[in-house]
């Protein structure tokens, strides 16, 4: 099984054989054509396996998983397809009005200055928004019939104006999708080359603004996603892959090429979602139900929460300041990574780090690829944490002199510091940024971070993890065996997952027959799609309800017992009680208001085609000393000491499960570096993960 994840700086590959042994590969990302970097990473993994080339590895691959940033980049850079929108007459300004939610996604520091705050640029220019005469009421009854000739005229106008994709979002299509389907037929007949996105398929939920925004985003990135995965699939076949690639979705499962092309919005932030999926999978093996999954790569730092073994989801995420309907794993992120640029604020004279980054090209100054700005990686090198001759296992040599020069010119001299003191400041500031984000993800949401185990992954994460964990009182950090390619590890632990939903507002207690009828419709669609994907057995179906107290706006998703059996009135009563418990767990004891009554807003169904996966290989624990893995010593700066400390450096590949070492120490792997601080202790567990016992 092979998984490839494209990041902002590096492209990662994990190959797992039938015995559960994992091998990693890594290559620089190639923004001009990401499929090149993907194949380069596969080639590196093949070399690490002792194979001739990537063709030999791909020919032996039973499954190929992939997570990409194509959709994210298209939206962030404004390079998505030219998109037109067809909507009901009188609703052309839905996107611009935004239901008054123009502060979504805005930092708190800016919200305080509302007079200076403007709405984001329109996702679709007004000339590319067309209205059609049609109307359906909330029960699904047709009040004004659609005119096919008017639709044909509108479609021709959009194509003539350059539309490459068309989004269709009509009022009350959640109750009757007939008119949207009729428009789809006209577009398909007249312009089959145009990418089509229907709100009744992409976001079948109440809320005209959110539904329209989701449909437009899907249309905007759909052609780019479709073209990329078709191109990638072709290249993989040329190099020996027998099947089609399975593409990661942001809710934590994978889909085939065609399903992904239709639901392109699902690929947004799919890479981080894969990392969280991998953490949950590994956590189950290690019997760790409460996990803070932290990912520090070259560009960003991300954190997600796994509580009681369940990954937290976001059903109404904010994308480019627009709230959308696209279920995704809850991930909070900031611009803090190995490539984050350090700079001095000209107004205050203070040292700042990020959010701007050096990216893969030109990268940090120490890469020697043309970068001149001082970054976190440059500081890590100056402090002695990184080995200039063993970065990426020695495939890339780091230029320590370039790193020193960049920090000296841009940070040390302006602040009147030594280069080492400036590097230490960069290191502490980036750690503070990351601990602040974890604090927002836990303390501000009612969790105590000390109750969690912190998983640290991403290429840069293990250098910093023990420091930001210590600031939060977290006692254990797990650095997975595949830390620097952990999102790729999450890919090979994934299943094929389809998501379905519909809006049907009901007051509680709801009619069980009506509830079962709504779920039965979704179950039929799920079974048909899973059968088409080759799943007859090994199918898991999970139903859930979005509920809220009446007249409130805070909805919570309540998961129901697994299965598809009809629900009785008594079983539904248990669901209503679970909502009350979940509400108080989420918003605090005493916050529930049962007297207000409850209502069901949405029905959701997750259908999983379970893929056969080998169990990660485990090894017996040894009582032998770690001294056999000692590869040398070097001078390293730690904030506990006034001068650099002569520090033992261990070869990860030579360590054996059960080996322990006290800090200060450095553990070097071919793909990342683990820093064991002076007060900490490290141990390799049975799965060859490194566990850092903070303060032990």
Q: How many Cα atoms are found within 13 Å in the side-chain-facing hemisphere of 482?
A: 32
What CATH number does domain 496-609 carry, 3.30.1490, 1.10.287, 2.30.110, 3.30.470? 3.30.1490
HSE-CB for 534 with a 13 A CA cutoff: 8
- CA dist., res. 267 & res. 273, Å (int): 10
* Averages of pLDDT over each 10 residues, the chain, 696 residues: 86 88 87 90 93 93 90 84 96 90 74 75 92 95 96 96 96 95 96 96 93 96 93 93 92 92 91 90 92 89 92 90 91 87 90 84 87 94 94 81 94 94 96 94 89 92 95 95 83 91 93 94 93 84 94 88 87 92 84 90 94 83 92 95 95 95 94 94 95 94
Q: What is the pLDDT of residue 360?
A: 64
Q: Cβ(82)–Cβ(222) under 8 Å?
A: no
pLDDT for the residue 483 = 81
Closest CA to 318 of 268, 276, 357: 268
Residue 390: its pLDDT value, please? 86
pLDDT of residue 656: 96
> Which of 545, 479, 494 shows the shortest CA–CA distance to 518?
545
Closest CA to 669 of 480, 488, 489, 493: 480
What pLDDT shows up at residue 612?
Answer: 83
DSSP track, 207-254? -HHHHHHHHHHHHHHHHHHHHHHHHHHHHHHHTT--SPPEEE-TTS-E
User: Where are the extended beta strands (E) located within 443-555?
Assistant: 453-457, 476-479, 496-507, 539-549
81-210 CATH fold: Rossmann fold (3.40.50)
The predicted structure's pLDDT at residue 459: 82
Please tell me the predicted confidence (pLDDT) of residue 67. 92
Q: Does residue 362 have a cis peptide bond before it, meaning omega lies within 30 degrees of 0?
A: yes
d(CA 365, CA 405): 9
Query: DSSP letter string over 322-354?
Result: EE----EE--EEES-STTEEEEE-TTT--EEEE
Q: Which helix (H) or strand (E) holds 556?
A: strand 556-559
Q: Given phi > 0 = left and psi -120 to 50 = alpha, else beta, which region is 308? A: left
Show the tokens assigned to 159.
């194509």
Q: What is the pTM of this model?
A: 0.87
Q: Residues 212, 171: contact at Cβ < 8 Å? A: no
How many CA atoms are closer than 13 Å to the CA of 471, on its beta-carbon side? 16
Domain ranges of the chain: 81-210, 496-609
Which helix (DSSP H) or strand (DSSP E) does residue 528 occupy? helix 512-532
């Amino acid at each position: 099984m092979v998984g490839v994840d494209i990041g902002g700086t590096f492209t990662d590959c994990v190959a797992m054989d039938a015995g559960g042994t994992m091998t990693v590969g890594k290559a620089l990302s190639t923004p001009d054509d990401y499929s090149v970097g993907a194949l380069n990473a596969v080639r590196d993994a093949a070399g690490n396996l002792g194979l001739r080339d990537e063709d030999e590895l791909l020919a032996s691959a039973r499954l190929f998983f992939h997570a990409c940033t194509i959709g994210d980049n298209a939206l962030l850079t404004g390079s998505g397809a030219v998109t037109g929108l067809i909507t009901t007459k009188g609703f052309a300004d839905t996107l611009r009005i935004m239901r008054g939610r123009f502060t979504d996604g805005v930092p708190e520091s800016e919200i305080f200055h509302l007079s200076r705050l403007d709405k984001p640029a329109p996702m679709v220019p007004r000339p590319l928004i067309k209205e059609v005469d049609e109307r359906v009421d909330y029960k699904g009854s047709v009040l004004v019939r659609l005119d096919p000739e008017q639709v044909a005229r509108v479609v021709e106008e959009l194509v003539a104006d350059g539309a490459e994709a068309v989004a269709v979002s009509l009022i009350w299509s959640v109750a009757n999708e007939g008119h949207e389907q009729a428009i789809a037929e006209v577009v398909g007949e007249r312009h089959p080359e145009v990418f089509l996105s229907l709100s009744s398929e992409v976001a079948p939920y109440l809320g005209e603004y959110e539904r329209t925004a989701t449909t437009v985003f899907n249309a905007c990135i759909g052609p780019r996603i479709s073209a990329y995965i078709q191109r990638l699939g072709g290249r993989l076949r040329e190099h020996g892959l027998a099947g089609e690639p399975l593409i990661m979705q942001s809710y934590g499962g994978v889909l085939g090429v065609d399903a992904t092309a239709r639901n392109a919005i699902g690929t947004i932030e799919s890479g981080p979602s894969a990392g969280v999926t991998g953490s949950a999978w590994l956590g189950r093996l290690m019997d760790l139900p409460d996990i803070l999954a932290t990912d520090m790569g070259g560009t960003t730092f991300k954190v997600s929460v796994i509580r009681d073994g369940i990954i937290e989801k976001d059903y109404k995420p904010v994308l480019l300041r627009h709230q959308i309907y696209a279920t995704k794993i809850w991930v909070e992120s900031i611009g803090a990574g190995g490539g984050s640029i350090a700079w001095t604020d000209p107004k205050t004279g203070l040292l700042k780090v990020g959010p701007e980054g050096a990216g893969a090209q030109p990268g940090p100054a120490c890469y020697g690829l043309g970068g001149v700005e001082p970054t976190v990686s440059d500081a890590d090198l100056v402090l002695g944490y990184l080995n200039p001759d063993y970065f990426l296992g020695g495939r890339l040599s780091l230029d320590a002199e370039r790193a020193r020069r960049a920090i000296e010119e841009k940070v040390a001299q302006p602040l009147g510091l030594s280069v080492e003191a400036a590097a230490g400041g960069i290191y502490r500031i980036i750690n503070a940024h990351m601990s602040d984000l974890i604090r927002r993800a836990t303390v501000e949401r009612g969790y105590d971070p000390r109750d969690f185990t912190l998983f640290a992954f991403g290429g840069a994460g293990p250098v910093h993890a023990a420091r930001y964990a210590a600031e939060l009182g977290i006692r254990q950090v797990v650095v997975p065996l595949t830390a620097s390619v952990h999102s790729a590890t999450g890919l090979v632990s994934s299943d094929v997952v389809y998501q379905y939903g519909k809006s049907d507002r009901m007051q509680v207690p709801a009619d069980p027959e009506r509830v079962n009828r709504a779920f039965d419709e979704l179950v039929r669609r799920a079974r048909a799609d899973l059968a088409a994907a080759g799943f007859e057995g090994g199918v898991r179906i999970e139903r859930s309800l979005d509920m809220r107290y009446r007249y409130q706006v805070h909805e919570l998703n309540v998961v129901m017992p697994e299965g598809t059996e009809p629900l009785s009135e008594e079983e539904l009563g248990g669901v209503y009680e679970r909502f009350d418990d979940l509400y108080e767990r989420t918003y605090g004891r005493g916050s529930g208001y049962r007297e207000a009554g409850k209502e069901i807003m949405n029905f959701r169904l997750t259908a999983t085609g379970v893929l056969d996966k080998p169990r990660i290989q485990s090894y017996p624990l040894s009582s032998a000393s770690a001294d056999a893995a000692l590869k040398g010593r070097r001078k390293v700066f730690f904030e506990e000491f006034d001068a650099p400390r002569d520090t033992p450096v261990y070869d990860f590949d030579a360590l054996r499960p059960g080996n322990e070492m006290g800090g200060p120490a450095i553990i070097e792997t071919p793909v990342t570096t683990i820093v064991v601080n002076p007060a900490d202790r490290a141990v390799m567990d049975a799965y060859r993960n490194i566990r850092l016992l903070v303060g032990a």
